[in-house]
Copies of this chain bind each other. A is one copy, B any other.
Amino acid sequence: MAQASEPVRHTGMREHNLSLVLGAIVRHGSVTRARAAELTGLTKTTVSGLVAALTEAGFVAPADARADADGPGARGERSGRGPGRPGAPVAVSGARHAGLGLAVDADGLSAFVLDLHGTARAHEVVVRDNRTRAPDAVAAELGDLARRMLDRAGAQGLTAAGLALALPGLVDRRGGDGRTVLRFAPNLGWRNVAPDALLAAHLPPLRLPPETGNEANFAALAERWSGVGAGLGDYIHVSAEVGIGAGLIIGGELFRGTHGLAGELGHCLVEPDGALCGCGSRGCLEQYASIDAMLRAAGSDVAEPTAAALLAALTAGRPTALAAVERAGRAVGAALVSAINLLDLDAVVLGGGYVPLAPWLSGPVRDALARGPGRLRGTAPHLAVSTLGRYAPARGAAGSVVRRLLADPALVI
């Protein structure tokens, strides 16, 4: 319990007030110092000092100059309005700080850089079969990718304050000392890997400690922050590559579960005594509706075992491929019915590898949603298709860094 006689921690209060003022600017878009004082309940003098610090640190900039901060007009407008005056509005600046998002999946690595406006500033995919690679080798290549992204950000005047890493497995927050453990990534074959140690060994050190999370969770957040998820109520974002990942957005927030293990839709059981899964169960959704499972089921209708070849076979109307994807759609629909009934969800977003397949998958999924949940709930859950594609996990990871930074600018001031 806090004691009344405890001295006030001025640094703590300043950190808190920096967050308050930046928070008001984030929420209201463009505010004067006077308005920021009203919104925060702080004095105008205090706000002016804090805005000066935030400006100096590159978090905010005069609002009029924002749109073309890098352009020729910026300087003129700044001097014209007098940025130090309480009447001159300030807004979040996208010119200095960035978040770096990284993602590893069975098929490669990806990276995304977002500025504080949430604008994409750089991205890259490295196609690589990670299914048989050791964590150390993947982390070393991730380090190279990260350094390239930091260089590209730097060339635009941006500094990445931190990075977040999206992994295709169960990232358990019970690792002790606040550290995470990648308990199991079935499609990488990794077990009990400590991401923090890997990142410390291979990634460039940044101001903020790195964050690790499940790729599907980051994708679901990216959808909420800059995709189709913004207008949906509670939803599940489900995507497929080699495996299946899902993230739950409930009440506008990621539902992680107490140990950070929630959202494993791929291991919902859809077939009694079905195919044995890497997790130990039989009949997991992943055995029927991952891209790999669809490729296996499509057999010789698909020229080579790639998502592109599957898409070509579907477009050409090859019957075994069509049947494979139809069946996958029914399996996804069944797992989603379970998820909706358990979690009271309003909507579903198909993402990642499901996006190009959506014309074939959506029908059976929509049928399943309309049948039981539609009748039980009075209205069928909404079905949406992601517009973020391959980069959703890395974009969500970058967004997570940006959110952290905007919530607590003192981390880098």
A341 within 8 A of B: yes
Number of copies: 2
A259 within 8 A of B: yes
A259 touches B339 (CB 8 A): no
A262 within 8 A of B: yes
Among the interface residues A234, A265, A282, A375, which one has the most CB atoms of the partner chain B within 10 A?
Answer: A375
- Which of A194-202, A203-211, A220-228, A269-277 interfaces with chain B? A269-277
Cα A270 to Cα B334 in complex, Å, equals 8
Residue of B nearest to A269 (CB): B334
B183 touches A377 (CB 8 A): yes
B271 touches A272 (CB 8 A): yes
Task: Name the contact of A259 in the complex, choosing from B264, B335, B344, B375 (C-beta under 8 A).
Answer: B344
A50 within 8 A of B: no
**Residue interface mask A225-269, B partner, CB < 8 A = 1:** 000000001100000000000001011000011111111110111
Residues of the B chain whose Cβ atoms lie less than 8 Å from the Cβ of A261: 344, 376-377
- Which of A142-150, A158-166, A313-321, A366-374 interfaces with chain B? A366-374
A279 within 8 A of B: yes
Cα A259 to Cα B251 in complex, Å, equals 11
Residues of the B chain whose Cβ atoms lie less than 8 Å from the Cβ of A345: 257
Give A365 Cβ to nearest chain B Cβ, in Å.
13
A190 within 8 A of B: no
A387 within 8 A of B: no
B342 touches A377 (CB 8 A): no
Residue of B nearest to A267 (CB): B341
A127 within 8 A of B: no
A377 touches B170 (CB 8 A): yes
Give A391 Cβ to nearest chain B Cβ, in Å.
25
A360 within 8 A of B: no
Give A259 Cβ to nearest chain B Cβ, in Å.
6
A280 within 8 A of B: yes
**Residue interface mask A378-393, B partner, CB < 8 A = 1:** 1000000000000000
B281 touches A258 (CB 8 A): no
B330 touches A268 (CB 8 A): no
Cα A372 to Cα B276 in complex, Å, equals 10
Binding site for B on A (CB under 8 A): 170, 172, 183-184, 233-234, 248, 250-251, 256-265, 267-272, 277, 279-284, 330-331, 334-335, 337-339, 341-346, 368, 371-378
